């Protein structure tokens, strides 16, 4: 096969991938852009739910008090876990509640007084709904498979585009690639080329990490029916949660606990502390875990992710970059521009297709 023939076939694949996935990729990319700013937007929209007044001097937070109050409000057999611990003095504790009817509730409490602040449905509130749209198009396991396939399609589209437009990569990066604004045809061609080159690495990262996160959607066991089980009473943790957090923090240097997974059944014997490493921001939130005995509080031998294999560390970094969890506002603004690129590429790609589509010949009678 000649190089020209291969290029034409790759161009055809690139075109049909874009036409076939453009609308859904638009939904995924725009929802991802909004989710980048979820912490800031959620805080601004729900300050009474997520924030508490500045504590008086000498006041101490108590997770044990929060758990007691949460259990009174959500009695057995609801399953409770401390999903997010305060990272600031004025932040509330977020308690995840799995109800017997499979409703997933997020409840909020004052860490100093244990006061209940309110609750919301984890999947139905705006950002929960938006995450479901981004992750599965609100269509369950089948939707997750669709989004995973979209990630693969975007990956192939970027790679085929890099081959088809390979002669333009260096000129564009050297700012020698210009856009001819003479008309919509030349403008769409130039925009497609320039935006595609500048967003190439970003879209490769988003496509690869997105498909990797949803790799379970390709496994048959994901779709196997599982019998429903009655929710049993959650066993008590006999050791103070505040003590457990302190021990977990000391177990791994630089470990900041951000959540606690409590035993669900009598067979579970550990409390899992989840959090981040302050000296490894690229590893992201909830990258490190420490397990402790729920009966004695003894720390089980932890695995420091800083000593994990290269593949595991690369996965952590890739997922952190996918979610825009590092770099502050500057990275989020860059990610916003990059996140809008699939929409612009889809639009300009469609215009290019429209320009080049075969037109019926007129006949003269």
Which run of H or of E encompasses 344? helix 328-356
The model's pLDDT over 179-228, given as tens digits with 9 standing for 90+, comes to 888 887 788 888 888 889 999 999 999 999 999 999 999 999 988 877 77
Q: What distance in Å separates the CA atoms of residue 321 and residue 43, rounded to the nearest whole number? A: 22
Q: What distance in Å separates the CA atoms of residue 288 and residue 255, rounded to the nearest whole number? A: 7
Q: How is residue 184 written in tokens?
A: 């919509």
Share of the chain above pLDDT 70, in %: 97
* Residues in contact with 67: Cβ distance below 8 Å, sequence separation at least 6, in sequence order: 80, 82, 95, 241
Q: Is the pLDDT of residue 289 over 50?
A: yes
The model's pLDDT over 143-179, given as tens digits with 9 standing for 90+, comes to 999 999 999 999 999 999 999 888 888 888 888 877 8
362 vs 286: which has the higher pLDDT: 286
DSSP codes joined into one string, 229-248: -PPPPPPPP-S-HHHHHHHH
Cβ neighbours around 126 below 10 Å, total: 14
Nearest CA to 315 out of 338, 287, 291 is that of 287
Measured N-to-C along each axis, helices 328-356 and 184-198 cross at an angle, to the nearest 10 degrees, of 140
Q: Is the pLDDT of residue 314 over 70?
A: yes
The model's pLDDT over 63-104, given as tens digits with 9 standing for 90+, comes to 999 999 999 999 999 999 999 999 999 999 999 999 999 899
Mean pLDDT of the chain: 91
Tokens 């048959």: give the residue: 220
Q: Is the pLDDT of residue 364 over 60?
A: no
DSSP codes joined into one string, 169-225: HHHHHTT------SSHHHHHHHHHHHHHHHTHHHHHHHHHHHHHHTGGGGSGGGG--
Confidence of residue 351 (pLDDT cuts 50, 70, 90): confident
Q: What distance in Å separates the CA atoms of residue 32 and residue 29, rounded to the nearest whole number? A: 5
- Give the distance from CA 365 to its chain's centroid: 61
**89 φ, ψ (degrees, to nearest 5):** -65, -25
Nearest CA to 19 out of 352, 361, 349 is that of 349
């Amino acid at each position: 096969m000649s190089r020209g023939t291969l290029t034409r076939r790759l161009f055809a694949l690139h075109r049909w991938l874009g036409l076939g996935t453009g609308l859904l990729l638009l939904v995924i990319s725009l929802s991802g852009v909004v989710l980048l700013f979820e912490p800031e937007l959620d805080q601004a929209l729900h300050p009474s739910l997520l924030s508490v007044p500045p504590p008086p001097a000498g006041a101490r937070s108590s997770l044990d008090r929060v758990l007691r109050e949460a259990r009174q409000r959500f009695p057995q057999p609801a399953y409770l876990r401390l999903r997010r611990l305060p990272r600031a003095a004025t932040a509330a504790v977020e308690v995840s509640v799995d109800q017997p009817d499979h409703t997933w509730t997020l409840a909020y409490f004052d860490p100093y007084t244990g006061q209940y602040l309110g609750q919301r449905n984890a999947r139905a509130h705006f950002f929960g709904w938006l995450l479901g749209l981004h992750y599965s198009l609100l269509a369950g396991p089948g939707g997750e498979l669709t989004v995973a396939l979209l990630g693969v399609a975007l990956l192939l589209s970027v790679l085929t585009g890099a081959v088809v437009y390979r002669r333009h990569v260096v000129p564009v990066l050297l700012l020698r690639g210009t856009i001819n604004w003479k008309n919509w045809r030349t403008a769409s061609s130039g925009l497609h080329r320039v935006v595609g080159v500048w967003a190439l690495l970003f879209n490769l990262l988003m496509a690869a990490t997105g498909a990797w996160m949803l790799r379970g959607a390709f496994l048959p066991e994901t779709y196997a029916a599982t019998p429903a089980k009655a929710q049993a009473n959650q066993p008590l943790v006999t050791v103070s949660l505040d003590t457990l957090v302190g021990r977990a923090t000391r177990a791994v240097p630089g470990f900041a606990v951000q959540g606690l997974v409590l035993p669900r059944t009598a067979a579970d014997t550990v409390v899992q502390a989840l959090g981040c490493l302050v000296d490894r921001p690229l590893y992201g939130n909830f990258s490190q875990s420490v397990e402790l005995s729920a009966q004695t509080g003894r720390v089980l031998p932890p695995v420091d992710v800083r000593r994990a294999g290269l593949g595991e560390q690369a996965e952590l970094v890739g997922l952190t970059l996918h979610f825009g969890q590092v770099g502050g506002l500057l990275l989020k603004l860059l990610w916003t521009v990059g996140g809008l690129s699939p929409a612009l590429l889809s639009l300009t790609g469609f215009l290019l297709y429209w320009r080049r589509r075969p037109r019926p010949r007129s006949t003269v009678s």
